Amino acid sequence: MAERAPETAGIPAVDTLAQRAAHVVRDGRAFICGKRQEPEGDARFEVISPMDGEVVATPADAGAREVDAAVAAARAAFADGRWRNLAASSRAKVLQRFAARIAEDAETLGLLDTLQMGKPAAHAIAGAREAAEGLEVCAAQIETLGDQIVPSAPGSLFLQARRPRGVVVAITPWNYPAQIALAKVGAALAMGNSVVLKPSEIAPLACLRLAELSAEAGLPDGVFNALPGTGRRTGRMLALHDDVDCLSFVGSTATGQALMQYAGQSNMKALLLECGGKSAQIVFDDLGDPVGLAEALVNGFVANSGQICVSGSRILLADSIYDHMLPYLAAAVERLMIGDPMVPDTALSPLATLAQAEKVRGFIESGCDAGRCVAKGSDTTGLDTAVAPHLFVVKDPDCRMAQEEIFGPVGAVLRFSTPEDAIRIANATRYGLAATVWTRDVALAHRVTRELNAGFVFAHATTQPSDPGVRSLSGEPCRMSGFGIDGGALGMLSYTRLQAVGYLLG
């Protein structure tokens, strides 16, 4: 979950990146039963570059026939056992080859994401490589996730068996397009399911390519299908489909609520929902290096230009350091610049869409009513999609700026007096996704952590954590951030159903 600094070694220079992006194949066709499919109808949607408004692609807005074909292909593959009945080691080998293909294709996948949603290309390429590593970890875990024998009398044998859920639909967002899609799809495939992926209409191309790469790696036909389409059409049809067993979703809370209704209106399919967040970063007064601390806290809400569900968009400062830390936070924000995503060392880029930029600007204007803007970064692009980072101090923890998910580079600073006060403020939103606690006092960190309504909590005693082991952790959002275990080995088990098996023999 934690943002790590991108590995820029091996990333080509700016001209090269832009030129290569110009030549990347932009195939928006569906991938069903092992091959690309020509669109069935006339319905289309446009994928628009946030950099120049160019139409990057006009994929089909997949309709009922394509949805049925993709689900039927996934069902047929599941029913005949061509994937789920392979030995775990054989499945692991295919997924390792799939990970290797993704790593080889990381530049294309990354550039596609950048073209569509404007993420810095260096981050997007590094993200694709990280996604491949995540898939390798998944593959390595398959063989450790077997059934369990529970205490049984001599004449009996009781098993806790794990069965794949069947046809899993993954509906995924645009902020980390290929990475989030692959995290969901990889775990579902690892456990023997068949998958239909419906990526965001804002950035579908790299996700569609993932399905193609899986076939090149030897995944049997029909096991991984991917459909372009809008949420209101293709996404809704998939969510209402009676032959889908499980729906795994990352996106907004409003869509998560709609999916719960669709599941209820159709076949009561299992749901895994990771929705919005308004995460707190709670800062006690015992960490030195205010410059490094300020940078880490600001990175917590500006990473990916704030378009991140675990964004630490509320910074809660202890009274005792509030006046001391605020200028450092302001200075860290003022150093930030929005730049061209094709420049290799650009850290922050414009937002994914004009609509998103306008929404964030609306928050910034309304934030001025509830709080005081104390710092602003700059923008070197002059684009309408660019929104400079903003830092507000906010007195009322109930104001919109401190309550609503902004999904842009906007942070709200609040103050607290005691650990109990910090816990109360941190928990005082409708969300329950993530939080960070900054202190060297382990007992204090533990006391606070266990009270937080958040699926993912990281206690920092240092401003430079770097442990890829984070990806082995599982967590579960709560409240209106959703539900269902995500990440790590337990997250893989979310794509199985537990079966109690008793052999009464004696």
Distance of alpha carbon 84 from alpha carbon 495, whole angstroms: 12
CB under 6 A: which stretch of 179-187, 198-206, 385-393, 441-449 binds ligand ADP?
Answer: 198-206
Neighbours of 40 (CB within 10 A): 14
Distance of alpha carbon 349 from alpha carbon 144, whole angstroms: 41
455 in contact with ligand ADP (CB under 6 A): no
Which one of residues 44, 65, 232, 446 is an interface residue with ligand ADP (CB under 6 A)? 232
Distance of alpha carbon 482 from alpha carbon 475, whole angstroms: 11
408 in contact with ligand ADP (CB under 6 A): no
Q: What sign does the CA torsion over 200, 206, 208, 211 have?
A: negative
CB-side exposure of 239: number of CA atoms within 13 Å? Answer: 27
50 in contact with ligand ADP (CB under 6 A): no
CB under 6 A: which stretch of 72-80, 252-260, 319-327, 470-478 binds ligand ADP?
Answer: 252-260
239 in contact with ligand ADP (CB under 6 A): yes
Name the residue nearer to ligand ADP (CB basis): 235 or 432: 235
Name the residue nearer to ligand ADP (CB basis): 45 or 83: 45
Quick one: which of 225, 91, 118 has its CA closest to 167? 225
Name the residue nearer to ligand ADP (CB basis): 261 or 418: 261
CB under 6 A: which stretch of 115-123, 162-170, 235-243, 490-498 binds ligand ADP?
Answer: 235-243
Q: CB-based contacts of 15: which residues, under 8 Å, 6+ apart?
A: none
Total number of residues that touch ligand ADP (CB under 6 A): 18
CB under 6 A: which stretch of 167-175, 264-272, 343-351, 433-441 binds ligand ADP?
Answer: 167-175
End-to-end CA distance of the chain: 49
Q: What sign does the CA torsion over 465, 468, 474, 475 have?
A: positive
180 in contact with ligand ADP (CB under 6 A): no
172 in contact with ligand ADP (CB under 6 A): yes
CB of 231 to ligand ADP, least distance (A): 2
385 in contact with ligand ADP (CB under 6 A): no
Q: Are strands 314-318 and 410-416 parallel, antiparallel or unpaired?
A: parallel
Distance of alpha carbon 375 from alpha carbon 331, whole angstroms: 7
266 in contact with ligand ADP (CB under 6 A): no
Distance of alpha carbon 226 from alpha carbon 235, whole angstroms: 12
**Cα of 92 vs its chain's centroid, Å:** 23
Catalytic residue (choose from 33, 138, 207, 309)? 309
CB of 430 to ligand ADP, least distance (A): 16
Neighbours of 378 (CB within 10 A): 13
Q: Are strands 337-338 and 378-379 parallel, antiparallel or unpaired?
A: parallel
235 in contact with ligand ADP (CB under 6 A): yes
Amino acid at 446: H
Amino acid at 333: V
Neighbours of 13 (CB within 10 A): 11
Asked if 30 and 36 touch (Cβ cutoff 8 Å), the reply is yes
Q: Is 274 a catalytic residue?
A: yes
Give φ, ψ of 106 to 5 degrees. -60, -40
Name the residue nearer to ligand ADP (CB basis): 202 or 332: 202
CB of 212 to ligand ADP, least distance (A): 19
Q: Is 38 a catalytic residue?
A: no
Name the residue nearer to ligand ADP (CB basis): 185 or 422: 185
255 in contact with ligand ADP (CB under 6 A): yes
251 in contact with ligand ADP (CB under 6 A): yes
201 in contact with ligand ADP (CB under 6 A): yes
CB of 230 to ligand ADP, least distance (A): 6
Catalytic residues: 274, 309
- The footprint of ligand ADP (CB under 6 A) covers 171-174, 198-201, 230-232, 235-236, 239, 251-252, 255, 258
